[in-house]
Amino acid sequence: MQAQSLILVIAAGLFFQNGGVWAQVIEGKVELPQESVERIANQRYQGGADAHTGAPDLPAAVVYLEGALSRIESPGAPLISEMAQKNINFSPGILPIQVGTTVEFPNLDDTYHNVFSYSKTKRFDLGRYRKGEKPGVILFDKPGVVTLHCEIHGTMRGTILVLDTPYFQRTDEHGGFRLESLPTGRYLLKAWISEDDVRVQSVELKAGETIRVNFPAK
Amino acid sequence: MLVVLVVTGATLYLAERNAQARYQEGLDAQFQDQMRLFTALQEARRQAITEKCRALSHSVRLRAALEEEDVEDLYRNALTELQGILNAKASSSDKADPEIPRASFFRFLDAHGSVLSPREFPAGPIDPETLDQTLELMSRALKNVKEQTVGYIALNQGSDLTALREVVLTKVLDWDGKELGALVLGFPVRNIAPADATQSGDFNSGIWLSKQLYIDRKVRAPDQHLLAQGVGEAMTLHNTGYFPADLENGPYLVFYKALDPHTQLEPAYEVCLYPLAASLREQRARRWKIIGFGALVLGVGFVASLFLAKGLSKPVDKIVAGSVENFTLRRQAEQELRETNQELEKALRELKTTQQQVIQQERLHALGQMASGIAHDFNNTLTPILGFSDLLIEKAGLLDDKPQAIKFLKLLRTSAQDAASVVNRLREFYRPLDKNEEFPAVDLPALVTQAVSLTEPKWRQQAQAIGATIRVDTNLQPVPPVAADESALREALTNLIFNAVDAMPTGGVITLETTTENGEAVLRVSDTGTGMTEAVRQRCLEPFFSTKGEQGTGLGLSMVYGIIERHRGRLDVQSAPGQGTTFIIRLPIAKPAEKKVVAATFEQTSRPALNVLVVDDEPRVCEVISAFLRSDGHGVTTASNGREGLEQFKAKPFDLIVTDRAMPEMNGDQMAGFIKKVSPNTPVILLTGFGALIEVTSAQSKDVDVVLSKPVTLGALRKTIEGLLHAA
């Protein structure tokens, strides 16, 4: 009986160790760069031809956990995500995905779009398609940054961040984030704002703990 | 004897000098012309290239590929985009149309100025190693380039133009203005001299770059050195100019022009050699002819005077005859000179035809601007016409108030006349402003009063319709008459009042004042409206500058400015936000004589009653002309085309024919021809909708006495008839 309860305790300990019911949480805030007035003016000026261009997606960062993560094998269900084109903009402006995710690119505008990327992470060109047409589908099988363009609308600019971790989140417009169900251990927490601005902090997650990490501007 | 010698000598000297001066003048003019053409053509060509490059640098795919430094996609996409501009085959370059510039290579530089080598991608027929090295050198200047720069590079040690490429360097920026790199497009450099001008000593062109001159066509090394040095010295003083140079095969004028004074690349100059040899030979030969002949005359005169020492008159006669011959010879020489000039012109013709296309485009552009200006003015003049006629129709009682009705009708007529003169300006467009254009004298305060009444529909009714009350105050001191085109000035005033109304959306006061200041007539138009910021004030006279959004053409004030300029007057603008705006017009006062002329034209004389035949296929025009003539007591018969008119004329004689030009069956000119055959003394007045345009485009028919342009006014018709009767 005693041995039994000992086993139970050990099993529970192991369970906690790997991030069980009382999963660990990191929350905090990324200080987002002020979008320069100049850039907005620039866009307005050059986008003159596309009078109906909507406001670009609000800026956001992607926060993700990196380190020696125990590989959780693919749970069977395929990873699928979506990068829409709406109001002559990519929506969302930045999309974090896990390696192996398939992304759809539906066109929600009344105009043609032609999404393409010359990024080394993933080169592709979807050709022209319009609303309602079956959108192109791309599988992202390598981690890295993919910059998206539209051949027709020069102002459109989107980013897909292909991450080698299942623990990531896009911040809200104020930079706030909350990553839940994290495993215990020592890791690197990264905030990706742009290719030139990736902020890193090391974190140690203990069982059942919620820690707060902020990423001030560099 | 001495007198004879001196007189003849002086005559010879003057004749020679005169001819030389004229020749020099002609030569200078020719030279200037040619240089103007040369630069205009170069500019046009260059503009086409730089535009294309700028467009390319905005290509989404090129930007994306450059950003990712994806060389393969970069060149593949650029190749597609540049298809029309790249030289498909290098060998066809000498046959290509020089007007369509064909690039011989293109390269991309990355943000640091390193050449992104195209490797296996064909990007021009030139050895890529030399090219890339040269570009690498050039790209050091990249960081100083703002957006685009044009320059030349030398690819090898050669000294002719084939060693050079004209390069257009355009920066490629991403959407945020971050530098991604640059596109360099290279073009072969051609001698701009016409291909058929290959005789020795002909017009020749080259490029001066890095203290070396690149030029074709047998310019020898010492000459090249001399020219390079000459340009090098001259350029330290001016960006453009010319200097004389004595080369091996004769004297030349050398024209040089900095490609781009602000270029960040190696400074380059376009150089043009303009030969003087042929013309100098010509001139020298002529001089010898004149001197030789003069000497002969002198000799003969001297011998004759020895034999006939007693009678001085005979040799003098001879010499006089000789001078006449001398004069003839000079004429001959001038004739020869003219012929040489014609030959030179022939060489220029090719250049001129291409330039003509450029000019034509410019003219079409300007005509487009004109047309929209005309539409704008025309609508302005229509406002009172519509306004007053509405008033008269809606308030029929007004018609019983005769003085009031006549006042309205007069204003209607004035506006219609202005509308006609607006259309006339289309014609004016082809006529450059005559420097000696004289205007009749106009009473400024009267004109102001008229303009205020004319614009009443706008400032009273229209303003009231949107709930604003606008008052117009006038403070009109008597001013001496100004020399002015009355309808143009009225139009300017109308525009200023409209402008004031638009500036006062919530109502206010427009004040018009006339005074005399410093011997000038001054007119002030002030409003109590929103006023302008300093930036707007400075630009408000520019064409197409408007703060009225969709409603404004941006032409109103620029037109006012144009009109005042034409009157040799000045237009000043005072304004501040919230303080209203004041336009100040200063006009020169008319000379007293001008007033008389105008007064005389309206004198009435007793008119004899005439028997008139009016021919026009447009019944309304026929009706109006007939009414005019009948009101002056003439008898009128009408016909609706030339054939019918001719039948009428055969039936009974007329004192005067008034006919339209364009009519079915038989036009006015043909009818006039038949009538003049039968009765050469019967005057014919031809009415035309095109007015003076006909005088310009086709010779006026000899069978027509006067051409009157439509719309015809009673005054004009009356005056024409009086003139014809006077002449008869």
Give the DSSP per-residue string, A156-167.
-EEEEEEES-S-
Per-residue model confidence (pLDDT) at position B652: 86
**B323 pLDDT band (50/70/90 cuts)?**
low
Using CA coordinates, name the residue in chain B closest to A42: B176
Which residues of chain B are at the A interface, by a Cβ-Cβ cutoff of 8 Å?
58, 60-61, 63-65, 67-68, 70, 73, 175-177
| Ramachandran angles phi, psi of B183, nearest 5° | -110, 130
In this predicted model, what pLDDT tens digit does every residue of B639-649 receive, in sequence order?
A: 888 888 888 88
Alpha-carbon span B713 to B699, nearest angstrom: 25
SS3 category, B643 = helix
Pairing of strands A157-163, A144-150: antiparallel
Per-residue model confidence (pLDDT) at position B321: 60
B64/A149 CB distance under 8 A: yes
User: Which residues on chain A are in Cβ contact (under 8 Å) with B61?
Assistant: 116, 118, 149, 151
Per-residue model confidence (pLDDT) at position A138: 92
Q: In the 8-state DSSP scheme, what is residue A69?
A: P
Q: B516-548 burial string, b = 16+ CB within 10 Å, else e? A: eeeebbbbbbbbbbbbbeeeebeebbebeebee
Name the one residue in this structure whose structure tokens are 């002309």: B625
Name the one residue in this structure whose structure tokens are 């200037």: B32
Alpha-carbon span A88 to A155, nearest angstrom: 8
User: Which residues on chain B are in Cβ contact (under 8 Å) with A119?
Assistant: 68
Q: Are B246 and B267 in contact (CB under 8 A)?
A: no
The residues facing B573 across adjacent strands are B583
Strands (E), B111-211: 115-116, 148-154, 164-173, 179-188, 204-209
Q: How far is A156 from chain B (nearest CA, A)?
A: 9
Rounded alpha-carbon distances, angstroms, from residue B26 to B32, B193, B203, B334, B350? 10, 20, 17, 11, 20
Q: How far is A53 from chain B (nearest CA, A)?
A: 15
Pairing of strands B635-639, B611-615: parallel
Exposed, middle or buried: residue B382 (CB in 10 Å: 0-12, 13-18, 19+)? Answer: middle
Pairing of strands A24-30, A210-215: parallel
C-alpha gyration radius of chain B: 36
Which residues of chain A are at the B interface, by a Cβ-Cβ cutoff of 8 Å?
38-39, 42-43, 46, 116-120, 123, 147, 149-155, 157
User: Which residues on chain B are in Cβ contact (under 8 Å) with A144?
Assistant: none
Per-residue model confidence (pLDDT) at position B396: 74
Q: How far is A198 from chain B (nearest CA, A)?
A: 18
B64/A42 CB distance under 8 A: no
Nearest alpha carbon to residue B155 among B129, B175, B177:
B129
In this predicted model, what pLDDT tens digit does every residue of B450-500 receive, in sequence order?
A: 888 877 777 877 777 777 788 889 898 888 999 888 878 888 888 898 888
Per-residue model confidence (pLDDT) at position B427: 53
User: Which residues on chain B are in Cβ contact (under 8 Å) with A38?
Assistant: 177
Cα-based angle A125, A127, A130 (whole degrees, multiple of 5): 130
Per-residue model confidence (pLDDT) at position B595: 38
Q: Which helix (H) or strand (E) holds B67?
A: helix B60-67
Alpha-carbon span A85 to A105, nearest angstrom: 7
Per-residue model confidence (pLDDT) at position B668: 84
Q: How far is A209 from chain B (nearest CA, A)?
A: 42
More confident residue, A32 or B353: A32
Using CA coordinates, name the residue in chain B closest to A35: B176
Using CA coordinates, name the residue in chain B closest to A118: B65
User: Which residues on chain B are in Cβ contact (under 8 Å) with A125?
Assistant: none
**A191 pLDDT band (50/70/90 cuts)?**
very high
**A146 pLDDT band (50/70/90 cuts)?**
very high
Per-residue model confidence (pLDDT) at position B367: 54
Q: How far is B42 from chain A (nearest CA, A)?
A: 29
Q: How far is A100 from chain B (nearest CA, A)?
A: 23
Say which of A42, A123, A155 has its CB closest to residue B177: A42
Per-residue model confidence (pLDDT) at position B238: 77
Number of cross-chain residue pairs from A and B with Cβ atoms under 8 Å apart = 41
Using CA coordinates, name the residue in chain B closest to A124: B73
Alpha-carbon span B254 to B367, nearest angstrom: 37
Q: In the 8-state DSSP scheme, what is residue B625?
A: H
Using CA coordinates, name the residue in chain B closest to A40: B176
- Which one of B57, B59, B60, B180 makes the best mutation probe of the A interface by having the most chain A beta carbons within 10 Å? B60
Is the ipTM higher than 0.85? The answer is no
DSSP output for A28-62: EEE-PPPPPHHHHHHHHHHGGG-TT--PPPPP--E
Alpha-carbon span B150 to B209, nearest angstrom: 13
A154/B60 CB distance under 8 A: yes
With a CB cutoff of 8 Å and minimum separation 6, the contacts of A185 are A67, A68, A204, A205
With a CB cutoff of 8 Å and minimum separation 6, the contacts of A207 are A16, A17, A22, A24, A184
SS3 category, A169 = strand
In this predicted model, what pLDDT tens digit does every residue of A116-125 receive, in sequence order?
A: 999 989 999 8
Say which of A43, A46, A118 has its CB closest to residue B70: A118
Query: What's at A65, amino acid-wise?
Result: L
In this predicted model, what pLDDT tens digit does every residue of B126-176 receive, in sequence order?
A: 566 677 777 877 777 777 777 888 888 888 777 777 788 888 888 888 777
Q: In the 8-state DSSP scheme, what is residue B458?
A: I
SS3 category, B672 = helix
Per-residue model confidence (pLDDT) at position B317: 57
Q: How far is A26 from chain B (nearest CA, A)?
A: 33
Alpha-carbon span B675 to A188, nearest angstrom: 108
Alpha-carbon span B345 to B341, nearest angstrom: 6
Using CA coordinates, name the residue in chain A closest to B58: A154
User: Which residues on chain A are in Cβ contact (under 8 Å) with B58?
Assistant: 154
User: Which residues on chain A are in Cβ contact (under 8 Å) with B65?
Assistant: 118
Per-residue model confidence (pLDDT) at position B88: 52
Say which of A116, A152, A155 has its CB closest to residue B175: A155
Q: Are B495 and B384 in contact (CB under 8 A)?
A: no
Which of A135-139, B291-295, B634-638 is the least confident region? B291-295
Per-residue model confidence (pLDDT) at position B378: 75
Q: How far is B195 from chain A (nearest CA, A)?
A: 44
Q: Are B507 and B468 in contact (CB under 8 A)?
A: yes
Q: How many CA atoms lie within 13 A of B285 on its CB side?
A: 11
Q: In the 8-state DSSP scheme, what is residue B111?
A: T
Cα-based angle B268, B270, B271 (whole degrees, multiple of 5): 125
Nearest alpha carbon to residue A98 among A167, A151, A34:
A167
Exposed, middle or buried: residue A9 (CB in 10 Å: 0-12, 13-18, 19+)? Answer: exposed
**B425 pLDDT band (50/70/90 cuts)?**
low
Q: How far is A185 from chain B (nearest CA, A)?
A: 36
DSSP output for B567-597: TT-EEEEEE-TTS-EEEEEEEEBPPHHHHHH
pLDDT of B512 over the 90 cut: yes
Per-residue model confidence (pLDDT) at position A200: 93
Alpha-carbon span B458 to B447, nearest angstrom: 18
Residue B711: cis peptide before it, omega within 30 degrees of 0: yes
Q: Are A33 and A59 in contact (CB under 8 A)?
A: yes
B175/A119 CB distance under 8 A: no
More confident residue, B219 or B209: B209
Per-residue model confidence (pLDDT) at position B197: 47
Pairing of strands B684-688, B706-709: parallel
Which of A144-153, B198-207, B407-416 is the least confident region? B198-207
SS3 category, B682 = coil
User: Which residues on chain B are in Cβ contact (under 8 Å) with A152?
Assistant: 60
Q: How far is B63 from chain A (nearest CA, A)?
A: 9
Say which of B70, B175, B177 has its CB closest to residue A154: B175
Using CA coordinates, name the residue in chain A closest to B71: A118
In this predicted model, what pLDDT tens digit does every residue of B586-608 receive, in sequence order?
A: 998 887 654 333 333 334 455 67
Q: In the 8-state DSSP scheme, what is residue B457?
A: I
Note the Cα B220 to chain centre separation in Å. 42
Per-residue model confidence (pLDDT) at position B694: 44
**B67 pLDDT band (50/70/90 cuts)?**
confident
Alpha-carbon span A144 to A161, nearest angstrom: 6
Which range, A36-45, B337-346, B629-638, has the best average confidence (pLDDT)? B629-638
Q: What is the mean pLDDT of residues B646-669?
A: 85
Q: How far is A73 from chain B (nearest CA, A)?
A: 33
| Sign, Cα dihedral of B269, B272, B277, B280 | negative
Q: How far is B366 from chain A (nearest CA, A)?
A: 25
Say which of A118, A152, A153 has its CB closest to residue B73: A118
Note the Cα B18 to chain centre separation in Å. 33
In this predicted model, what pLDDT tens digit does every residue of A70-103 receive, in sequence order?
A: 655 555 677 899 999 998 899 899 999 999 999 9
User: Which residues on chain A are in Cβ contact (under 8 Å) with B67?
Assistant: 118, 147
pLDDT of B17 over the 60 cut: yes
pLDDT of A48 over the 50 cut: no
Mean pLDDT of all residues belonging to chain B:
75
B65/A147 CB distance under 8 A: no
Say which of B58, B60, B176 has its CB closest to residue A149: B60
Using CA coordinates, name the residue in chain B closest to A117: B64
In this predicted model, what pLDDT tens digit does every residue of B554-587 receive, in sequence order?
A: 567 777 887 888 788 888 999 888 888 999 999 9
Q: What is the mean pLDDT of residues B523-535?
A: 89
Note the Cα B270 to chain centre separation in Å. 26
User: Which residues on chain B are in Cβ contact (under 8 Å) with A155?
Assistant: 175
- Which one of A113, A118, A145 makes the best mutation probe of the B interface by having the most chain B beta carbons within 10 Å? A118
Q: What is the mean pLDDT of residues A29-58?
A: 53
Query: What's at A59, amino acid-wise?
Result: P
Rounded alpha-carbon distances, angstroms, from residue B568 to A65, A192, B87, B370, B376? 78, 67, 53, 21, 24
Per-residue model confidence (pLDDT) at position A78: 79
User: Which residues on chain A are in Cβ contact (under 8 Å) with B177?
Assistant: 38-39, 42
Exposed, middle or buried: residue B584 (CB in 10 Å: 0-12, 13-18, 19+)? Answer: middle
Q: What is the mean pLDDT of residues A133-150?
A: 89
Q: What is the mean pLDDT of residues B172-201?
A: 71
In this predicted model, what pLDDT tens digit does every residue of B701-718 receive, in sequence order?
A: 678 888 877 777 788 888
User: Which residues on chain B are in Cβ contact (under 8 Å) with A47?
Assistant: none
Mean pLDDT of all residues belonging to chain A:
79
Using CA coordinates, name the residue in chain A closest to B73: A118
Q: What is the mean pLDDT of residues B357-381?
A: 60
Per-residue model confidence (pLDDT) at position B280: 66
**Backbone region of residue B181 per phi and psi (left: phi > 0; alpha: psi in -120 to 50; beta: other values):** left
Q: Are B171 and B112 in contact (CB under 8 A)?
A: no
Helices (H), B176-276: 221-235
The pTM assigned to this predicted structure is 0.46
More confident residue, B203 or B79: B79
Q: What is the mean pLDDT of residues B534-544?
A: 75
Rounded alpha-carbon distances, angstroms, from residue A169 to A69, A166, B38, B449? 17, 9, 64, 75
What's chain A's length in residues? 218
A154/B68 CB distance under 8 A: no
Per-residue model confidence (pLDDT) at position A19: 43
User: Which residues on chain A are in Cβ contact (under 8 Å) with B73?
Assistant: 118, 123
